[in-house]
Chains A and B, each alone.
Chain A
Amino acid sequence: MKDKSHDPNQMTGAAMIVRALIDHGVQHLFGYPGGAVLPIYDEIFQQSEVEHILVRHEQGAGHAAEGYARSTGKPGVVLVTSGPGATNMVTALTDALMDSIPLVCITGQVPTHLIGNDAFQECDTVGITRPCTKHNWLVRNVNDLAKVLHEAFYVATSGRPGPVVVDVPKDVQFAVGTYHPPRKSDVHVSYSPRVKGDAAQIRKAVALLASAKRPVIYTGGGVINSGREASKLLREFVEVTGFPITSTLMGLGAYPASGKNWLGMLGMHGTYEANMTMHDCDVMLCVGARFDDRITGRTDAFSPGSKKIHIDIDPSSINKNIRVDVPIIGDCGNVLGDLLQVFKAEAKRPDIKAWWQQIAQWRARNSLSYRKNNDIILPQYAIQRLFEATRGKDTYITTEVGQHQMWAAQFYGFEEPHRWMTSGGLGTMGYGLPAAVGVQVAHPDSLVIDIAGDASVQMTIQEMSTAVQYELPIKIFILNNQYMGMVRQWQQLLHGNRLSHSYTEALPDFVKLAEAYGCVGLQVLKPADLDGAIKEMIAIKRPVLFDCRVAALENCFPMIPSGKAHNEMLLPEEATDAATASAFAGGKALV
């Protein structure tokens, strides 16, 4: 037998894992140790190229990695142990799958000879995570490990991005085998996502766009995922065509909120002008969005008079909820580039002055208006003041889930992509704080703010401890209404105002809690004190928990009620009890 002791590619499975991370340019990974991953932790200890961030709960590692990925465009990497470590990751994996976030999660597993024996801390990780990953692998042979790890990175980051899991039994981590650096043949031949759009379809789309009288561009997270170039091309396309543009929750920032063609977000809590424009348009260009049910409202009444063009890298997103006329399968950036080129060469921008006049009338309804209050802080006002105070600064925003999330989307203006991290598809309370940790790890000198709710923030509040340990000066800006506001809103609208368990009694003293963790706690009760306190928060170079006491019973408008179409929105000034009752008629609403 050949002497392999000097072959640098001979190493243990555990060493291969760290080596593969380095080969893929990973600088940070988020994790939590346990019996089944100790060999890997031992390797991590003995090197300095990859920095490990110790979280306080595996779900936090997952969301931190998501925040890291979304704010950088690079994959987020997670390391957790078998059994409970793996099951704690399930929420974050599902979240990443729904929002198409590239994650590579390595899980430890019990030794191969114990698999299936109900061994200590054994669970069927690949079985449990199969429906919540883009793909997963159980590696039973150390000589397969390098190939699987490289494939894992490729699958997570290519095509429609998503989370992957590599489950590595402990004996495979100890075993010695041959490592090889990433190479093309590491990838399943059956997997080859399509990047370039079909030229004939692109021509058809251009012809349709050039003939439009009432066009709209509707974009989503796909534009962000495609990379910065896609956002640049999108902006140029809007400039060249002069078309109005709206976006989903996931797509905010691809086109700047200060841009003159911006209609605001669309959908259930989108602006009146965005939804009316969608409803009445004659040509719709959907780029990297998926006609989700929060967007379309009632599908049989969704934009009834329009021809629809849909660009998406995932063929399964096309014709899933809404039938489209011109599907284009490909990467958003790539297709936008081609579309722009053909449009410039062959089409003239149509005259849509009348359409803009119509849109101006809808805008004049001022659907995000709210009445001012000098005594209590209104949550919308708090977001507006936060936005003003951070305008022009190098800021990243994450959120939890609830009313505060919608207000953040409505009132915080995003100028750039990758600046807005929110759990859209899964709607995971507890996402924002660990996501902020991940963002801050990637951008240590930036201002990172989690716009939080009093209920959501308690789901992963222990990650404050992570922020303190790694000196991550995140800001947790809680819109504290002492309610699960979004649940209460639905109970008011749909369940006869019976507020069943949506009141959070016995809230902690957030200021003391912050101090107990070693963060700074601030509390504000009055509108007059808000600006000063925000300024103070920004100036503090340590993690801050900001308890912003807001009006308890404020609700989030405008709103498309269930079973209604885009042109049946409920506007804030109309949202009297009677109007609300009739808007929700048919339900048991407010009887």
Chain B
Amino acid sequence: MNQPASAYFLEERHDPNETHTLSVLVQNEPGVLARVIGLFSGRGYNIESLTVSETESQKHLSRVTIVTTGTPMVIEQIKHQLDRMIPVYSVVDMTLSGRSIERELAMVKVRGTGNHRVEALRLADAFRARVIDATIESFVFEITGNSAKINQFIDLMRPLGLVEVSRTGVAAIGRGPEGM
């Protein structure tokens, strides 16, 4: 094993990375989002997407949805590290449960005239995107779906005059009658 001079064991791990969506129920108090984000930056975990909003204002509960990548061991760590934070009620791995719905909303601005404009509108229709703003040379589409669908739509809009995109990030919920 060839490692440079170090007081640490420099190992490389080669486990494959997985992508997981975590739903985290937290007490909505000052600094709680900073705690969650600080955990990820401090421990070197990835955040692919993060959404947060209060979901039960009476109980001051917020729901954070995080899409993260890592080896299975790291994903397990992330869940435990989140769970042991004082204001965290529960952490559910939506990917492991296998029975969850994930949705994202994007607003996509496209600028163009003539054929490009017609084609953009046709594709939007096929993707069930709605026009929420229009000028004679532009549209803003609203599209909802899983991230893959949105990525695909954005890719298709690119040659047709894509100007900019605003995405909410992923929200997730389990199927069936039970809550988390």
Contacts and interface: CB of A to CB of B under 8 A. Distances in A.
Interface stretch (A127-135, A389-397, A405-413): A127-135
A316 interface: yes
B76 interface: yes
A390 to B, nearest CB: 32
B73 A319 contact: yes
A320 B73 CA distance: 7
Nearest to A130: B38
B3 A315 contact: no
Interface in A550-591: 562-563, 584, 586-589
Contacts of B30: 138
B86 A190 contact: yes
* Candidate in B27, B73, B80, B88 with the most chain A CB atoms within 10 angstroms: B80
**Main SS class of interface, B:** loop
Contacts of A314: 80, 84
Interface string B135-149: 000000000000000
Contacts of B27: 188, 190
Interface stretch (B5-13, B95-103, B111-119): B5-13
A190 B87 contact: yes
Taking residues whose C-beta sits less than 8 angstroms from the other chain, chain A's interface range is 35 or more
A49 interface: no
A155 B86 contact: yes
Contacts of B88: 190
Interface string A175-195: 000000000000011110000
Contact of B87 (A188, A315, A323, A495): A188
Given A188-B86, A316-B80, A563-B9, A127 B73 contact: no
B126 interface: no
Interface stretch (A201-209, A217-225, A297-305, A375-383): A297-305
A478 B162 CA distance: 70
A37 B94 CA distance: 47
B49 interface: no
Contacts of A138: 30-31
Contacts of B35: 130
A155 B26 CA distance: 17
B1 A319 contact: no
Interface in A299-330: 299-300, 314-316, 318-320, 323
A490 interface: yes
A570 to B, nearest CB: 15
Nearest to B34: A130
Given A131-B42, A587-B3, A588-B4, A293 B80 contact: no
Contacts, number: 82
A316 B1 contact: no
B77 interface: yes
Contact of A299 (B3, B5, B11): B11
Interface in A313-359: 314-316, 318-320, 323
B166 interface: no
B151 interface: no
Taking residues whose C-beta sits less than 8 angstroms from the other chain, chain B's interface range is 20 to 34
Contacts of B81: 316
B3 A562 contact: yes
Interface string A108-131: 000000000000000000110011
A494 interface: yes
Nearest to A140: B30
Interface string A471-508: 00000000000000000001000110000000000000
B152 interface: no
A192 to B, nearest CB: 10
Interface string B166-180: 000000000000000
Given A130-B35, A131-B38, A587-B4, A316 B9 contact: no
**Main SS class of interface, A:** loop
Contacts of B58: none
Interface in B29-70: 30-31, 34-35, 38, 42
A562 B7 contact: yes
Contacts of B89: 189-190
A587 B90 CA distance: 45
B69 to A, nearest CB: 18
A315 B84 contact: yes
A316 B2 contact: no
B83 interface: yes
Nearest to A587: B5
Contact of B9 (A126, A160, A293, A588): A293
B86 A316 contact: no
Given A190-B88, A563-B1, A494 B6 contact: yes
Contact of A316 (B6, B84, B87): B84
Contacts of A588: 4-5
A135 B86 contact: yes
Nearest to B81: A316
Nearest to B85: A135
A315 B84 CA distance: 8
Contacts of A155: 86
A315 B38 contact: no
B123 to A, nearest CB: 45
B85 to A, nearest CB: 8
A403 to B, nearest CB: 14
Contacts of B3: 562-563, 586-587
Nearest to A495: B5
Contacts of A586: 1-3
B34 to A, nearest CB: 7
Nearest to A588: B5
A562 B4 CA distance: 9
A316 B31 CA distance: 22
Contact of A490 (B7, B42, B76, B84): B7
Contacts of A160: 84
Contacts of B38: 130-131
Contacts of B77: 316, 319-320
10 closest A-B pairs by beta carbon, nearest first, are A316-B80, A494-B5, A587-B5, A586-B2, A190-B89, A135-B86, A563-B3, A315-B80, A191-B86, A563-B1
16 contacts: A130-B34, A130-B38, A135-B86, A138-B30, A138-B31, A155-B86, A188-B86, A190-B26, A190-B27, A293-B9, A297-B9, A315-B80, A316-B81, A494-B5, A494-B6, A494-B7
Given A562-B5, A563-B11, A587-B5, 20 more contacts: A130-B31, A130-B34, A130-B38, A131-B38, A138-B31, A160-B84, A188-B87, A190-B26, A293-B8, A298-B11, A300-B11, A314-B80, A315-B84, A316-B83, A316-B84, A320-B73, A562-B3, A562-B9, A563-B9, A588-B4
